Amino acid sequence: MSDPLDELFSPRQLKRDADTLAEWGRDWTRSYAVAPSAVVFVESIDDVVKLVQAANQHDFKLVPSGGRTGLSGGAVAGHGEVVVSFDRMNRILDFDPADRLVTCQAGVVTQTLQEFAGEQGLSYPVDFASSGSSQIGGNIATNAGGIKVIRYGLTRDWVAGLTVVTGNGEVLRCNHGLVKNATGYDLRHLFIGSEGTLGFVVEAQIRLAPAPQPQQVMVLGVPEFRDILEVLRTFQGALTLSAFEFFSEQALQKVLAHRNLRRPLPQPVPFYTLLEFDASALEAASEAFEAVVEAGWVVDGVLSQSEAQAAALWQLREGISESIAGYTPYKNDLSVRISQMPDFIETVDALVSDSYPDFEVCWYGHIGDGNLHLNILRPESLSVDEFYQRCHSISPKLFAEVSNRQGSISAEHGVGLLKRDFLGFSRSPEELEIMRGLKAMLDPGQILNPGKLLPLKS
């Protein structure tokens, strides 16, 4: 019997060679087996509809694939699924200056959208280290956050309209770019962050922001972890921050070893914060700097003197993830409310030192949003499986601390496979039941990204 895919797609769109399967069958994670049966490079909404209908009819499963920069295994195809790549749906379809709305296909790369916005004298302010390869559809499917959330919010906040293909093969067009629309359930937000389990994002209307003023970057040395929050409070009381990031000396050492960069300060300090703000707020920032030094929270600091220096300082923070990738780190992406942060940091710090005395730990993240990235590095002596098992066995203790504070076990990286079995630490049984009900309604054949996000029923 011939394969239905061969009838629907030409060899130009349908690939089954080993290299393509290996490359498009995974995201940035490296700890899951990858075994898709085919990759289809869709070129239109109709292609996606055809594929979904065929999957329902012939009972095969689909895994959506964007820029493949995910960190939770949400785009891994490990069980013979067909990968649906949006690489060729990469056109900007329309721009309306009066509405400041740009209509994009799902495969538009984030940086392309940012550059397009710049050409219109506007900006797309959601930004992260993977902007050069991540795609807008994937960003929406995971409600991606990044480095400017403190000022500009998450991907969700910029999606004014959304077109999705559900697991039933229906095309839904949600919200149509409206600012005000009080006509009941906003289905757009149901799909944002659903990780391709309810529908595939095929097009989006994205709202653009005014172009930012010139920015200035400051890196400060903070000896004590808990004082980072005092520094945040002081600066936030004095000016509007565009970013407030932090990283540990341990994390800095990894970037310096990996890239040709200079230390930000002459002497190592246990922690660093990176702040970005409008250059026009420099005076207020300088006063805040004096105040944090006087209080003893900060021992030294550097202010960017040029755009090139600002970019080099940003690399110290944005380059961390890539520079530790070779350690196949075990990633935690946690958030609690800022008010809970001091006590949370202290508890997690103690737990980590107790649980992983023989592992190297890198702290960094978007602490201004209450979001910590806690990466445990694999010692060479352990296989990836052994290492992950050990880390997994500690996770319940760590997540219980998150849960006690009503925090999130995945602040911005999504659930995918990595956090699926721990979702109950952040979502109640009632919520999980409603989520399952939504899945059953929008994807009754369970063909969309199976095994992701929702914990399997025991």
In what order do the strands lie in the sheet containing 360-366? 300-303, 215-222, 271-278, 241-248, 360-366, 371-377, 330-335
Beta carbon of residue 134, minimum distance to ligand 2HG (angstroms, whole number): 11
- Residue 458 CA to residue 443 CA, distance in Å, equals 21
Choice from 129, 252, 269, 313 touching ligand 2HG (CB under 6 A): 129
Beta carbon of residue 450, minimum distance to ligand 2HG (angstroms, whole number): 25
Output 145 or 161, the one with its CB closest to ligand 2HG.
Answer: 145
Choice from 375, 408, 410, 449 touching ligand 2HG (CB under 6 A): 375
Determine, following the binding rule CB under 6 A, whether residue 331 of this chain makes contact with ligand 2HG.
Answer: yes
- Residue 307 CA to residue 55 CA, distance in Å, equals 50
Total residues at the site for ligand 2HG (CB under 6 A)?
Answer: 7
Q: Which residue is nearest to ligand 2HG (CB)?
A: 321
Output 9 or 314, the one with its CB closest to ligand 2HG.
Answer: 314
Q: Long-range contacts made by residues 91-96, C-beta under 8 angstroms, separation at least 24?
A: 92/116, 93/203, 95/120, 96/177
Beta carbon of residue 60, minimum distance to ligand 2HG (angstroms, whole number): 32
Beta carbon of residue 333, minimum distance to ligand 2HG (angstroms, whole number): 6
Binding-site string for ligand 2HG from residue 82 to residue 121, where x marks contact by CB under 6 A and - marks none = ----------------------------------------
Output 230 or 369, the one with its CB closest to ligand 2HG.
Answer: 369
Binding-site string for ligand 2HG from residue 297 to residue 326, where x marks contact by CB under 6 A and - marks none = -----------------------xx-----
Output 110 or 321, the one with its CB closest to ligand 2HG.
Answer: 321
* Residue 388 structure tokens: 């992950």
- Residue 101 CA to residue 160 CA, distance in Å, equals 8
Output 136 or 174, the one with its CB closest to ligand 2HG.
Answer: 136
Determine, following the binding rule CB under 6 A, whether residue 419 of this chain makes contact with ligand 2HG.
Answer: no
Beta carbon of residue 155, minimum distance to ligand 2HG (angstroms, whole number): 13
| Angle of helix 341-355 versus helix 384-404 axis, rounded to 10 | 150
Binding-site string for ligand 2HG from residue 183 to residue 222, where x marks contact by CB under 6 A and - marks none = ----------------------------------------
Output 136 or 334, the one with its CB closest to ligand 2HG.
Answer: 334
- Report yes or no: 140 and 70 within 8 Å, Cβ to Cβ: no
- Residue 250 CA to residue 349 CA, distance in Å, equals 14
- Residue 147 CA to residue 157 CA, distance in Å, equals 15
Beta carbon of residue 242, minimum distance to ligand 2HG (angstroms, whole number): 15
| Angle of helix 282-294 versus helix 227-238 axis, rounded to 10 | 150
Output 278 or 369, the one with its CB closest to ligand 2HG.
Answer: 369
The residues in 333-362 that bind ligand 2HG, with binding defined as CB under 6 A, are 333
Output 150 or 174, the one with its CB closest to ligand 2HG.
Answer: 150
Give me the phi and psi of 147, to 5 degrees please: -95, -5
Output 335 or 449, the one with its CB closest to ligand 2HG.
Answer: 335
Determine, following the binding rule CB under 6 A, whether residue 148 of this chain makes contact with ligand 2HG.
Answer: no
Beta carbon of residue 410, minimum distance to ligand 2HG (angstroms, whole number): 11
Output 331 or 405, the one with its CB closest to ligand 2HG.
Answer: 331
Output 225 or 363, the one with its CB closest to ligand 2HG.
Answer: 363
Choice from 373, 405, 420, 452 touching ligand 2HG (CB under 6 A): 373
Applying CB under 6 A, the residues found at the interface with ligand 2HG are: 129, 320-321, 331, 333, 373, 375
